[in-house]
Amino acid sequence: MQQVIKFLFSPVAFALGFLWPLFTQIFIATDLLQAGGLAIGIGAVVALTWGVMAQLRGSWIWIK
């Protein structure tokens, strides 16, 4: 249970659960990309890259 909660509050989980669909929907809403696989894929790349960076660095903005 402790591991599940620890993961839920991690930057990677936030990227997976929130930032990924958020970026995808922003790309579509601002007409940067059309709805579909490309928007979902690029949303995943941007969100997960940021989330993994935050997880490893312990900071969402690189600097500590």
Partner 1 sequence: MDQVVNSAGVETMTDEQLDVLERQIAGKYMRIVPWGAVAWGIGNCLVFIALFPLVLLGVLPLWLGFVAATACVALSYLPSHEAQHNIIAGKGRPLRWLNELVGHVSTIPLVYPYRVLRATHMEHHAHTNNPELDPDYDVCAKSSWDFLVKNVRGRLVGGQRDDAYGNALARTGQSGLLIDAVAYNTVFLLIMFTMAWSGYAIEAALLWWLPKHIATTYISYYLSWAPHHPGEAQGRYRDTRAFRSRLGNLGSMGMQYHIIHHLYPRIPLSLTPAAYRDLKPILERKGCDLGAL
Sites of contact with partner 1 (CB under 8 A): 5, 8-9, 13-14, 17-18, 20-22, 24-26, 29, 58-61, 63-64
Minimum CB–partner distance for residue 23 and partner 1 (Å): 8
User: Do 55 and 16 form a contact (C-beta atoms < 8 A)?
Assistant: no
Give me 25's structure tokens.
């929907």
User: Do 2 and 18 form a contact (C-beta atoms < 8 A)?
Assistant: no
Minimum CB–partner distance for residue 61 and partner 1 (Å): 5
The residue among 18 and 38 lying less far from partner 1, judged by its C-beta, is 18
Would you give the DSSP letter of residue 34?
-
